[in-house]
Structure 1
């Protein structure tokens, strides 16, 4: 009985005692495993959401009119507001670049990316990418209808536009599509350099599209800033969800 009692009183090994040193070591390990991109994504969602809401409030109170007017006028020749500053090729370049944020181009890029993911048997990721971009498109149109801000008439438009102004659909959808795709591609790479490269390219393309909309006079600068914030928040939120759910869903599907 004594031996049995001794056995029951010592179910754990001697080295399994929890000590403050072991707790601190476990905490350090968790901090090390927490990828910097996760922290950045959380910050991006929080900051972008806050800036968008603050910007929307300022626009509704017409507090951004002077800022928008100054920038739009600064990008045109003072003698003729129909002529943008810079050489002729610059307007041609921005006219081409603005198409990168159009529905047609983004639909083609998204479709090709989804097909590629299906071909490499990343079906769950493919479906998630498609739903993320479609969700961003629905959100963009919903925000436009909600705010109903008309297009700027401060300077002549250099390309034809028809819909509402805030937030910029080109800026928001390019952020949604390129950032979501860039973050998902970065997630497949172990090299930090390659992960930063994918995300950097996505940000670069998004910025080019937004700047082109202001240069061409079809959006207020605050429209583009709002589109960037809303698109970045949506893309980073989708990536955080994908990072958590996709591996588990794919694992469950393979086991099933």
Structure 2
């Protein structure tokens, strides 16, 4: 920017060893995205796609256009002779209950507190508080969406798990995406090795996937509830990651290992 006297301002402070790169405390999100355009555009595309999918599903559900698909897939997972009996052996039903517990409030809260403790002991306090706010915000968003849409639970087949809230979107699916994706992103930032980053993110995707599928298998959610939960959770986690990148550039969150190399 030019001063009123028409003089050029002093150049922004440079990072030692990185010619032409300004102090990261004074960068903004667009500048960070220009440094890694593939990552930035990919994240923005994912955010837009996940958000669009959620709103499309919500519109179809409200109009009742997903009824045939939901019923078909739900019945596909049941014994035609006895709708109270999910397909597969008894031991698989028990595994499905174990998998669905991985998206329960108790386990996700316990996991979040465990990671928060790790970040605190590692003195990554900015990352810790941001993680807690991101997960807390996602939880409130899930509760609010359930109250807004107030979709009844499936009554086509008996439930194999106890439920207390409305059906759309699936809270287990959405909170799994919010918690596992957010934790994966926060932890992967502290890991310099690319292979470990991929491992952490892949584990988060698999955990989120099995939780959602178990909800349909147990008959407590329509398939579109789960799809909407995944979409909303992925959109929220992606938005939080973009905000985290911006805060990192402002010096409010500790830089990841890749920024220290």
How far apart, in 2, do the equivalents of 1:58 and 1:32 lie? Answer: 37
**Partner residue of 2:51 out of 38, 49, 57:** 49
Q: In the alignment, what sits opposite 1:172?
A: 174
Q: In the alignment, what sits opposite 2:124?
A: 122
Higher helix share: 1
**Partner residue of 2:186 out of 184, 187, 197:** 184
Tell me the CA shift for residue 190 of structure 1: 2.6
Q: In the alignment, what sits opposite 2:106?
A: 104
For the residue of structure 2 that corresponds to 1:181, the secondary structure is: helix
Q: In the alignment, what sits opposite 2:245?
A: 243
How far apart, in 2, do the equivalents of 1:40 and 1:55 lie? Answer: 22
Tell me the CA shift for residue 183 of structure 1: 1.0
Q: In the alignment, what sits opposite 1:93?
A: 95
Tell me the CA shift for residue 36 of structure 1: 4.4
> For each residue in 1:132-177, what CA deviation from the matched residue of structure 2 results, as whole angstroms up to 9, or x when unmatched?
1100000000000110101010111001112100000000000000
How far apart, in 1, do the equivalents of 2:38 and 2:211 lie? Answer: 27
RMSD: 1.8
Work out whether residues 125 and 246 of structure 1, in 8 Å CA contact, stay in contact via their aligned partners in 2. Answer: no
Question: Map of 1:21-100 to 2, 5 A cutoff?
Answer: 33-34=35-36, 36-100=38-102
TM-score (norm 1): 0.83
Structure label with greater radius of gyration: 1
Q: In the alignment, what sits opposite 2:5?
A: none
TM-score (norm 2): 0.82
How far apart, in 1, do the equivalents of 2:88 and 2:42 lie? Answer: 36
> For each residue in 1:55-74, what CA deviation from the matched residue of structure 2 results, as whole angstroms up to 9, or x when unmatched?
00000100000000000000
For the residue of structure 2 that corresponds to 1:101, the secondary structure is: coil
Work out whether residues 124 and 246 of structure 1, in 8 Å CA contact, stay in contact via their aligned partners in 2. Answer: no
Tell me the CA shift for residue 231 of structure 1: 0.3
Aligned residue pair count: 223
How far apart, in 1, do the equivalents of 2:242 and 2:193 lie? Answer: 19
2:145 equivalent to 1:143: yes
- 4+ aligned runs moved over 6 Å, structure 1: none
Work out whether residues 179 and 232 of structure 1, in 8 Å CA contact, stay in contact via their aligned partners in 2. Answer: yes
Tell me the CA shift for residue 32 of structure 1: 8.9
Q: In the alignment, what sits opposite 1:12?
A: none
